[in-house]
Amino acid sequence: MAVTSAEDLPSKLAPRAYLDGIDLPPNFQLPRLDKVREDAAKIAQLTRDGPGAGALGIFKTDKGPSEPTLLNEPLAYNMRLPHLFKWAYFAQNDDTPDDLHEGCIFALGMFIRVLQECNEEALRRVGHILPGQELVVAKYYMVMNAGYKLTRYLTSPEIDRPAEALPYFKMLAEEDIRQNAKEGSIPWIQNPILYAKYADALVLSGSTDNKTKLMIEHAIEGLMKSDLKTTADIIRMKLHLARVRHCQGIKSKEAKENEDSVTKFLRKNPNLIQRAHLKQALIRPGQPEHHILTALGGPAWFDNTKETFKSQERAEKLCRTCGGREPQKTLVRCGGCQYIWYCSKECQVANWKFHKVSCSEMSNGCKKLEALQSSGSNNAQRTADWMKWRLGSLGANSLAPIHALGLRRDPSRGRTHILFCQVEYTPNASRDMTHKFQIASAGVYRAKDVMPEIEAALHINSGEGKEYIDGLLADLDSAELGSEIVPVIYLLLGDGLETWLGSTGVPQDVLRRIPYDPKWRKTMNKDAPPAEMRFIRQGIQDAEHIF
């Protein structure tokens, strides 16, 4: 039976326990979600009736249970809702179901109060500070981890309560400044993401004063010197700087250049920054419309900017080895295939052992195309379009292969399964390259079951198909993009088209944020969805729903 809802797909992307700067025990386990939900359901009654200061707690000691001890309010909540507090503190935000976000916000706020209001004896009694741990160090890491997770919830586009996050950002910055003072470091250079997030919350809350301007400038300075920055971080800060300068009436040459560069970037790359985050920065309740949004055409700009082949190409333009993007790094195409990008000779050399096979094949394809074009062949344009299309998006929706392969439910299928696509040339369907071809039929198979078909389609010898796929996987594994990459392997074939065994990858952190779409076929083409694949030899099943 076909799966029809995300609820039917228990994901193997298990929730992750993570604390920055703290190594958790290998056998550490998060609490069960049903227990967490039971705790969250108690919040309304407890806040109404109150566990209160004066609630009693009994603790384990070396001599057995302690005498009942009076607990202050935040610690009483901590003791009453242990599963929720443990989940909120240890689990990654992206792994928390939407219905638990408010519960986690409550628990993290209370936990920070526990750390601020309880003395050392109480913290050791409840086990927040372990034997042998130094109080100051332990509290620093706990405050920073709880504060980071809490502010991330509050400033997310879905919750969007940045003003509530400001006191916690102030706390985090003060802790960070104290820590960097000990080390003689400049805080925003050492930890630019924190100051960028703080600046973000200030602007989103409506602050445009000099303190906010200085915070943004510090964040930009730190980000530009950091290896952890992303293009989205830089653009968001420059957007905020433009708003603050505009509100202050600053009309300098530098302000104009910043404004023009951001506007130009967004026109060319409307989909590079997540739409929800971009809307959050440009459209604020109770605030004037951002003048850069006005320059783009107003709120209607969001509806008028659709993903195109060119925007997808720009989104995929990054160093194959380190993930660097322009304008922070200058990128140069591989001289052989003219497809892969690198930011330096060092990155190209590091990746060459993985890229050399596909580079040779793509380079040979370019030479064949040149020969066709020189001969005036009628197939030249089709070949040129095919070479470009197959290296770009896979149909109208680049997420479709992720849904087809079931990677949200089981990421390991990216290494064991393959998407077959029968493709037809439709040169007059659209001026956008995305629709120059359409997928007539598609099917998902275990790669080992269809290896003879793969080898026959590629005209290679028996046994070479596995080697080819292993090479694609090794190429993806070589990329140091900051997150574990889940492969997407696909075979494209069609009449008059050179068969293509291709690959792309999606970071696990991104995969966690992509809800499963059971209607993925309807999104692959401009018009009709692809049919089910039929040409596979008898006895081989479509494995889309076989887990």
Q: What is the mean pLDDT of residues 230-249?
A: 94
pLDDT (tens digit, 9 = 90+) per residue, 58-81? 444 455 555 545 568 898 899 899
Q: By three-state DSSP, how is residue 511 classified?
A: helix
Predicted local confidence at residue 261, as pLDDT: 93
Predicted local confidence at residue 62, as pLDDT: 53
The residue ranking higher by pLDDT, 437 or 126, is: 437
Predicted local confidence at residue 103, as pLDDT: 98
Predicted local confidence at residue 7, as pLDDT: 38
Predicted local confidence at residue 5, as pLDDT: 36
pLDDT (tens digit, 9 = 90+) per residue, 1-51? 333 333 344 577 788 899 998 889 989 999 999 999 999 999 999 999 877
The residue ranking higher by pLDDT, 57 or 141, is: 141
C-alpha span between 55 and 76 (Å, rounded): 6
Predicted local confidence at residue 58, as pLDDT: 46
Q: What is the mean pLDDT of residues 191-214?
A: 97
pLDDT (tens digit, 9 = 90+) per residue, 392-410? 766 666 789 999 999 989 9
The residue ranking higher by pLDDT, 428 or 216, is: 216
pLDDT (tens digit, 9 = 90+) per residue, 322-332? 777 776 688 99
Per-residue tokens: 526: 């401009």
Angle of helix 192-204 relative to helix 135-155, nearest 10 degrees, comes to 40
Highest-scoring range by mean pLDDT, 125-134, 193-202, 375-384: 193-202
For β-strands 437-446 and 531-532, DSSP reports them as parallel
Lowest mean pLDDT, pick from 228-237, 243-252, 480-489:
480-489
Predicted local confidence at residue 364, as pLDDT: 78
Amino acid at residue number 172: L
Q: What is the dihedral of CA 467, 470, 472, 477, to 10 degrees?
A: -150
Banded pLDDT at 121 (limits 50, 70, 90): confident
Predicted local confidence at residue 10, as pLDDT: 57
The residue ranking higher by pLDDT, 375 or 18, is: 18
Per-residue tokens: 137: 């160090």
**How high does pLDDT run on average in the chain?**
87
Show Cβ contacts of residue 93 under 8 Å, excluding neighbours closer than 6 positions.
Answer: 104, 149, 152, 153, 156
pLDDT (tens digit, 9 = 90+) per residue, 308-319? 666 666 766 788
CB 158 within 8 A of CB 280: no
Predicted local confidence at residue 35, as pLDDT: 97
